[in-house]
Chains A and B, each alone.
Chain A
């Protein structure tokens, strides 16, 4: 067993200093990922910097009508914040459809974005897994890969990013704000999640000791009609097989604006930009929606057990768009 030490940070600078002092340190927010992975022997952390006393729990207005969500805001609190529910219903739904209320009370927004994949081969600690042991191979390629990704994969890793709320956030062009030893940064959401390529062990462009302080969600009137739908094996309390965040705006009987992102099918929260491009200017009907979904999924790479996701993802996208068009959440 690795040694483990613990300290509590008093403020942001203190947190960064404490984390930078020990290269094997990790921040501790809700602990729902970190404690689990330490116990499973997967996390290499030897020092935990508890950041729960930092004043990063608020949700505040941005001048453009958007919202700043503090990194330590809890999933359950953000889901019920009236400004989130009104301006970004898909964010609220995605949060409520994730995990359980106990976990949502613990889990922070910053931690949610850095949660690890639920790939069973990563977590078992023994199977070949390039994320855990770079160069060891990927047991999922020819293993039980029903839950694995079909977009953004490589021959080195096909793990899905499991977050629900990240799917809604990428649809609205959120920006991740960090403070690190080198100062402040603003990282566009899509850039925060790296494709596996031939370095699946690298998941985020974030330096040791760099702290996420919050998430900016730009103002977007279209998001007021957004929906989040999650398709899974059990009714509730289960990760998504496929999920979709969608928002559509129609003007003069053509699609004037559209936002689509998908969960459960990509190695990162998947913004469906091809589908969006295909839709703008088309009539808002199921034929156009189906066409757009087919365009997005055209490059899917399937494995033995996850081929069903290609069709499920297309139906999910169509249903998400129809629901947003009709103003229905579920």
Chain B
């Protein structure tokens, strides 16, 4: 089946039961998306499908065929990190880093969706991304920074 990932077409042969997360990690060597719970509760597998943030662990790869998939590996522009990636580094928004790719994939969308107006909104609309290290204050600071920068530019 063809899978369109980060602008490139991949062809893989997979059983229908294989999740998009396993397809990425075990068949396509795209290990940036992490497997925390495999049941939709932690958000560490967050990717974008057709521009929306979704969970790769509850998506079947076969069902994602024909749709545009973006993973954390697709964010940087050559050597240039995405502004959210830079903000996470600048604000120390991680400790162990396990949840980070999912946090970043969600954080970019939370701004695009218009759900990052207040800290309360950020907390609510980032609630599907659990951080066991409780880096939440710094994650919020990184999101505020990118939000305000984006606002300043446009």
Contact = CB atoms under 8 A, between A and B. Distances in A.
**A associates with B:** yes
A147 to B, nearest CB: 15
A31 B59 contact: yes
Contacts of B123: 235-236
Contacts of A100: 43, 127-129
Task: Choose among B15, B54, B129 the residue with the greatest number of A CB atoms under 10 Å from its CB.
Answer: B54
A184 to B, nearest CB: 27
A39 B38 contact: yes
B38 A101 contact: no
B58 A106 contact: yes
A237 interface: yes
Interface string B128-140: 1100000000000
Given A31-B60, A32-B40, A39-B38, A102 B124 contact: no
Given A39-B38, A101-B113, A48 B124 contact: no
Interface string A93-122: 000000111110110000000000000000
Given A5-B16, A101-B106, A105-B52, A31 B128 contact: no
B55 A106 contact: yes
Contact of B19 (A35, A52, A101): A35
Interface residues of B, number: 29
B63 interface: yes
A72 to B, nearest CB: 13
B45 to A, nearest CB: 9
Interface residues of A, number: 27
B46 interface: yes
Contacts of A99: 128
A40 B17 CA distance: 12
Contacts of B58: 30-32, 35-36, 103, 106
A31 B54 CA distance: 11
Q: DSSP majority for the B interface?
A: mixed
A308 interface: no
A28 interface: yes
A76 B54 CA distance: 11
B54 A4 contact: no
Interface string B56-94: 001110110000000000000000000000000000000
Contacts of A38: 17
B115 interface: yes
Nearest to B130: A237
B53 interface: yes
Contact of B59 (A4, A76, A106, A235): A106
Task: Choose among A40, A50, A99, A106 the residue with the greatest number of B CB atoms under 10 Å from its CB.
Answer: A106
Interface string B106-125: 10011001010000000111
Contacts of A35: 19, 58-60
Contacts of B52: 76, 105
A3 to B, nearest CB: 9
Nearest to A47: B16
Contacts of A36: 39-40, 58
Contacts of A237: 127-128
B107 to A, nearest CB: 11
Contacts of A102: 43, 46, 53-55, 106, 128
Contacts of B19: 35, 39
Contacts of A39: 17, 19, 38-39
B63 A50 contact: yes
Contacts of B113: 101
A236 B124 CA distance: 7
Given A103-B40, A103-B128, A4 B17 contact: yes
Interface of A: 1, 4-6, 28, 30-32, 35-36, 38-40, 48, 50, 52, 76, 99-103, 105-106, 235-237
Given A31-B60, A38-B17, 14 more contacts: A1-B17, A6-B60, A31-B58, A36-B40, A39-B19, A39-B39, A40-B39, A48-B16, A99-B128, A100-B127, A101-B113, A101-B128, A102-B46, A103-B55
Interface of B: 15-17, 19, 38-40, 43, 46, 52-55, 58-60, 62-63, 106, 109-110, 113, 115, 123-125, 127-129
| Cβ-closest 5 pairs across A and B | A100-B128, A6-B16, A237-B127, A236-B127, A105-B52
12 contacts: A4-B16, A4-B17, A28-B63, A31-B58, A31-B63, A36-B39, A39-B39, A100-B127, A100-B128, A102-B43, A102-B106, A236-B123
